[in-house]
Amino acid sequence: MKPSKDSTPVITYVITSDDVNKRLDVIARVVFPFLQLSQIFQAIRKGVIRVNHQKSKGNVRLIMHDTISYHGVIPEDITKVPEKTSSKVFLSPKINPRMQTEYQHLDILLETSDIVIINKPTSWISHGSPPALTSWLQWKYGTTQSVSFNMSPVHRLDVGTSGANILAKTISGARTASDLLQQHRIKKIYLAIVEGKLEHSIHSSVYLDRINKKTFVSSYASSISSKQAITTIHPLVSTAQYSLVACLIETGRTHQIRAVTAYHHYPLVGDMLYNTPMRARTSSNNQQYFLHCYLLIDESQSLFNTIKAPLPDAFIREMKNLDIFITPSQLLNICTQLL
């Protein structure tokens, strides 16, 4: 690989605060995704990739406002590089008109310079093709100027689960929110519709194992990969067949609420993975299950105080269909008393 002639376009990237002290070869792999790893090393050795227009070593540590430039042959199809690696340097993903309308109407519950908290629809995924939270972040705010940070969800809600979701706009917001979640200083209350009449609260401390994309529950650690899951399930409204429950989780395991409620014989209505009857197949709402992250409480008050995510219309209709409806004011009052 030879350095290009002066007439060849040059791709440049300016180091931001998020990228400071990172190695040249590490940053180059992200900035120039059309190059294979071996080509990155070769381009650095031969001066095709430069720092401040000077040949440099791959292990050099970059500082604020350093400029990385590529002076080699640029493939004609660089805009077709997968979004995960190219979005920061080349083009943002295109959104069709229907999806743009959906993105425009997303319910934003709180926005600061570092985070945005949204009311996630059930059909949205966290990462990937639209409708996705990462795609919405790029559509809303554009691409970030850092290759060391991607705007993304701080905690994940499964597709099928709706509600309050914290998204990080900056690396500072991501670190703060992640630390608070790991320290259990951000409390989360989920609402769920389950089968069976739950009359008393359940405090569950069990162990979970993931096998073939399904979570299995045990009263003991069955393997070295077993993870403890702590969940408290409170009944709010019940009939002989169904209950509206509030779930407080101290751990954030994959499918934790879905697997734990089923383990205690109160599976989510219509959950085709953990509930055998699969009532949702005949539901007029055409929704698989009903699980919603209703409240977020930041005990540190460093990011926010209390965030409430209104219930989706489909969730409200199902509550009414099953005679377990409760007014929004009553619901908020009961749930805040659970903390």
Q: Are 207 and 218 in contact (CB under 8 A)?
A: yes
Burial call 175-193: b when 16+ CB within 10 Å, e when fewer: ebbeebeeeeebbbbbbbb
Residues ≥6 apart with Cβ < 8 Å to 315: 162, 191, 193, 290, 292
- Rounded distance between C-alpha atoms, residue 27 and residue 56, angstroms: 13
- Give the residue numbers annotated as catalytic, written as ranges: 158
Measured CA to CA in angstroms, residue 91 lies from 77, 79, 212, 242 at distances of: 12, 6, 35, 49
Q: Are 163 and 121 in contact (CB under 8 A)?
A: no
Q: Are 149 and 175 in contact (CB under 8 A)?
A: no
Q: Are 96 and 114 in contact (CB under 8 A)?
A: no
SS3 category, 146: coil
State the distance between the two ends of the chain, measured CA to CA, in whole angstroms.
63
Token pair in block for residue 84: 């995960």
CA dihedral 281, 286, 287, 289 (to 10 degrees): -40
- Rounded distance between C-alpha atoms, residue 184 and residue 67, angstroms: 40
Q: Considering just the CA atoms, what is the radius of gyration of the chain in Å?
A: 24
One-letter amino acid at 279 equals R
How many other CB atoms are found less than 10 A from the CB of residue 165? 24
**Residue 115: beta bridge partners?**
168
Q: Are 66 and 50 in contact (CB under 8 A)?
A: no
